[in-house]
C-alpha cells in the first residue's frame, strides 16, 4: 500500500471555537481516511458538529489541532481539488444559471470560451440546459440545488463535499436528486463526502457511514455499507437496507 492510497485523511482533527464568553469544543480528536472514489457519509445528531467537520475539510475553518492531508500533503485553506455543495444553493441572483455554473472557472482563470463550453456541459449533465439564460428566481428549490451541484463539479474537483445539500427539499425531489447525484459520482469517478442527518439517505449513497457522537463530535461507530451498485430507489425496501438503517439509528441513540 503506497502512502497516498488515501485521497483525504483527517488526523486527530480538533476544533475549539473560542470567543469572549469562553471556549466551545466542536470537534474532538477525529481521525478517518477516505479512499479515492469512495462515497462517505457522516451522520450524527443535530448540532453535533457535522457541518464544522465539513467546513474544516473544505478549508473554510482553521482546525485548532491535528491535521488534514489531501493526497498526503497538509491542507491549508480552500483547495481547487475540493469543492462544496452547501445547504443553501448559494446562487448569485444577478447571474443567469449558466453564469452561476461559470463562476468557479472565472475565478480559476479558465479561458472564456472553454469555460462556457464546460459550464454548458455540466448544466446539461444536471438536466437544466434549457434554463441556461434564466435567472435563479425562476428556479424551484430542487433545480437550484442541481445548479449548485453543476457548479461544484465544473472545476473538476477530486473531492466533492456535500453539506446536507437536499435537506430542505421534499422527500420525492430529495430521492430523485440523490439518485442523480449517485450517477454523477460514478460518471465523474469522484470522491464524495456528505454530511447528513438522514439515515436512509446515508445508506442509499454511502460506501461507509461514520456515526458521530453528540457535541463535541467524535467518531462513535464506523459502518460499512456493502449494498450492491448501481443502486436504485428500490434498494430502500430490501432487508439489508433496513437492517443497516436500524443499526445506524441505534448507534446514534446510544
Partner 1 sequence: MENSSESAGTTKRKHNRAFMAGWLNGYGIGLLAFPFGVVLLVVIWYLVTKLGDYPAFILPGPAAVMEEMHKIIVNGVLWIHVKATLTEMAGGLALGLGTATILGYILAKSPILERLIGPYIVASQSVPAVAIAPLLIIWFGTGKLSKVLVCALVLFFPVLINTIVGIRSVDAGLKTLMKSLHASRWQTFVMLEVPASLPVLLGGLKIGVTLSVIGAVVGEFVGADRGLGYLINLAKGIFNTSLMFAALIALTAISLTLYLLITALERWLLDWRD
Site string for partner 1, 92-111 (x = CB under 8 A): xxxx-------xx-xxx---
Q: Which of 80, 186, 229, 250 touches partner 1 (CB under 8 A)? A: 80
SS3 194: strand
Contacts of 19 (CB under 8 A, 6+ apart): none
Site string for partner 1, 46-65 (x = CB under 8 A): ------------xxx-----
DSSP code, position 189:
T
Separation of alpha carbons 178 and 160, rounded Å: 14
Name the nearest CA neighbour of 107 among 155, 162, 161: 155
Burial (CB < 10 A; 0-12, 13-18, 19+), residue 247, is middle
Q: Which of 137, 189, 237, 253 touches partner 1 (CB under 8 A)? A: 137
Q: Which of 79, 118, 174, 208 touches partner 1 (CB under 8 A)? A: 79
Would you count residue 195 as binding partner 1 (CB under 8 A)? no
Site string for partner 1, 12-51 (x = CB under 8 A): ----------------------------------------
SS3 139: coil
Helix extents (H) in the chain:
50-57, 97-107, 112-125, 141-153, 171-188, 199-205, 239-253
DSSP code, position 72:
T
Q: Which is nearer to partner 1, 106 or 183 (CB)?
A: 106
Q: 219: which 3 cell numbers?
A: 467518531
Separation of alpha carbons 125 and 146, rounded Å: 9
Q: Which is nearer to partner 1, 80 or 229 (CB)?
A: 80
Q: Which is nearer to partner 1, 103 or 227 (CB)?
A: 103
Rg of the chain over CA atoms, in angstroms? 18
Using CB under 8 A, which of the segments 74-82, 120-128, 174-182, 223-231 binds partner 1? 74-82
Using CB under 8 A, which of the segments 33-41, 77-85, 172-180, 216-224 binds partner 1? 77-85
What is the total count of residues that contact partner 1 (CB under 8 A)?
25
Torsion of Cα atoms, 30 then 35 then 39 then 41, to 10°:
-10
Would you count residue 208 as binding partner 1 (CB under 8 A)? no
Q: Which is nearer to partner 1, 78 or 224 (CB)?
A: 78
Query: Which residues would be at the binding site for partner 1 (CB under 8 A)?
Result: 58-60, 77-80, 83-84, 86, 88, 90, 92-95, 103-104, 106-108, 135-137, 155
Amino acid at each position: 500500500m503506497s502512502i497516498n492510497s488515501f485521497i483525504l485523511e483527517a488526523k486527530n482533527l480538533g476544533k475549539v471555537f473560542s470567543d469572549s464568553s469562553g471556549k466551545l469544543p466542536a470537534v474532538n480528536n477525529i481521525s478517518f481516511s477516505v479512499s479515492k472514489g469512495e462515497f462517505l457519509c457522516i451522520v450524527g445528531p443535530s448540532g453535533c458538529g457535522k457541518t464544522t467537520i465539513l467546513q474544516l475539510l473544505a478549508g473554510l475553518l482553521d482546525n485548532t489541532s491535528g491535521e488534514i492531508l489531501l493526497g498526503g500533503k497538509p491542507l491549508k485553506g480552500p483547495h481547487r481539488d475540493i469543492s462544496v455543495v452547501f445547504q443553501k444553493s448559494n446562487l448569485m441572483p444577478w447571474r443567469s444559471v449558466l453564469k452561476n455554473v461559470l463562476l468557479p472557472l472565472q475565478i480559476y482563470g479558465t479561458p472564456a470560451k472553454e469555460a462556457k463550453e464546460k459550464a454548458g456541459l455540466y448544466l446539461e449533465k444536471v438536466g437544466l440546459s434549457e434554463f441556461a439564460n434564466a435567472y435563479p428566481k425562476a428556479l424551484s428549490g430542487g433545480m437550484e440545488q442541481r445548479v449548485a451541484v453543476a457548479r461544484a463539479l465544473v472545476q473538476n474537483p477530486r473531492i466533492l463535499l456535500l453539506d446536507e445539500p437536499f435537506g430542505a427539499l421534499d422527500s420525492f425531489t430529495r430521492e430523485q436528486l440523490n439518485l442523480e447525484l449517485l450517477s454523477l459520482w460514478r460518471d465523474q469517478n469522484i470522491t464524495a463526502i456528505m454530511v447528513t442527518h438522514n439515515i436512509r439517505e446515508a445508506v442509499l449513497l454511502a460506501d461507509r457511514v461514520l456515526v458521530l457522537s453528540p457535541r463535541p463530535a467524535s467518531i462513535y461507530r464506523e459502518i460499512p455499507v456493502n449494498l450492491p451498485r448501481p443502486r436504485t430507489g428500490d434498494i430502500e425496501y430490501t432487508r439489508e437496507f433496513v437492517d443497516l438503517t436500524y443499526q445506524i439509528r441505534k448507534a446514534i441513540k446510544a
